[in-house]
Amino acid sequence: MTAEFAVEVFQNEYLPEGAREVDAIVTVSASGVASAPVSSADIAQVIIVDCSGSMRYPPAKLNAAKHATVTAIEALRDGVSFAVIEGTDTARMVYPSHQGLAVASNRTKLEAKRVVRGLTADGGTAMGRWLTLADRILTDHRGGLKHAILLTDGQNQHETPAQLSRTLASVNGRFTCDCRGVGTDWQVEELRKIAESMLGTVDIIADPQGLADDFRAMTATAMGKAVGGVSLRLWTPEGATVKFVKQVSPTVLDLTDRRVESGARTGDYPTGAWGAESRDYHVCVLVKPAGVGDKMLAGRVSLLTPGGDVLGQGRVLAVWTDDGALSTRINREVAHYTGQAELAEVIQDGLEARKAGDVETATAKLGRAVALATSSGNTDTAKLLAKVVDVVDPVTGTVKLRPKVEDADEMTLDTRSTVTKRVGKG
């Protein structure tokens, strides 16, 4: 193991008599990666480039995609396994020419870059087929760190939503995938569905010239991972039910439906690959209500390797009291991330209402988003909101919808709505 993990739990464990909902923020931190980097042989990187006909217009789009792919190849460490896939209404190996992975070296990277520079655009879009091919070539990789980058400029027109869902169900948990949309003709909801299923990120690159820097950064992040396939295991006492488990920092990601039963009253939730980083999770458990003075272990949170080794552990507690000052005290971490999760939800709801022409709902939702972003200090989101609404009063969330909004501004707000502002631990 090349990383050390620490688990901390933040909560107000005091509940009024008869209460049963227990909330906690679980902070997981990994360190020690830089001093003992993972072996290059443990890492596999696949780059999926949209080469459908729409990538021809404007010509700078495909050129930028090829340049970004070349940049990502250059960033690979020697010894890393890699491949490049051409995505249209089918999926085709670009490099290596056979279905498999190449090992990064001066020779193979030069060969791959030469082939990538010769890519042309034609055909349609079927992202599920792209992911299926990526899964096939990653299957035989013995290392635990498997990562893909998916770039597209359009919508998944040659597959039904049901077909894509079936593909995602078959490949999720097998590798992580970061998705990028170039331009403004793709669907945020579509790429977000892929990214969330594959425990990756989604973002817009409105200007194709920004692709190279973004691909370089994603590849560097992948090279910095130390352990893959890490699970968060939650044990709860008899009679308890799990209301939800969500990642709440650095992005909001609901893991509740991803639970895999792993024992009596125990379930595992995937967290993907880890480098030197820290993430926060919101755990909410409904327990049997108890009387004043009673105490309970409401949950035990553990972090595990694919082999079952425990990397860290924390406890979620419940103590019933008749002291109102104790039971009504709101834990600052729980309150903050509850607001951040609501912020992501109201932004997406507000933008959907705006598209549907429901001005009243859009104004109310986006106004609430402005107030939440302001109160939590999420200045990045506040700036994005200000490009979609005219802010009259940021504290109360009084806003007016802008009559004309650039597609890129709206899509940027949508894609980054799940990016959270981290709370300072206290």
Tens digits of residue pLDDT in 214-242 = 999 999 999 999 899 999 999 999 999 99
Residue 65 has pLDDT above 50, yes or no: yes
**Given a cut of 60, is residue 36 above it in pLDDT?**
no
The reported pLDDT for the residue numbered 425 is 53
Phi, psi of 343 (to 5 degrees): -60, -50
In this prediction, residue 38 has a pLDDT band, given cuts at 50, 70 and 90, of confident
pLDDT per residue over 343-388, tens digit each? 999 999 999 999 999 999 999 999 999 999 999 999 999 999 999 9
The per-residue pLDDT for 68 is 97
Residues with Cβ within 8 Å of residue 12, at least 6 apart in sequence: 326, 327, 329, 330, 331, 334
Q: Say what the pTM is.
A: 0.94
Percent of the chain past pLDDT 70, that is, above it, reads: 98
| Across 101-112, average pLDDT | 98
pLDDT of 1 > 70? The answer is: no
Averaged pLDDT score across all residues of the chain = 95
What pLDDT is stored for residue 426 in this prediction?
A: 47
pLDDT at 34: 58
Amino acid at residue number 35:
S
Q: What would the mean pLDDT of 390-418 be, rounded to a whole number?
A: 97
Residue matched to tokens 């501004």: 409
Nearest to 225 by CA among 5, 77, 38: 38
The stretch 144-150 carries a mean pLDDT of 96
- What pLDDT does 2 receive? 61
With cut-offs at 50, 70 and 90, classify the pLDDT of residue 32.
confident
How far is the CA of 338 from the CAs of 242, 285, 331, 343, 420, in angstroms?
16, 15, 11, 9, 11
Average pLDDT on 310-325 reads 96
CA terminus-to-terminus distance, the chain? 30
Q: Look at phi and psi of residue 199 and say left if phi exceeds 0, alpha if psi is from -120 to 50, else beta.
A: left
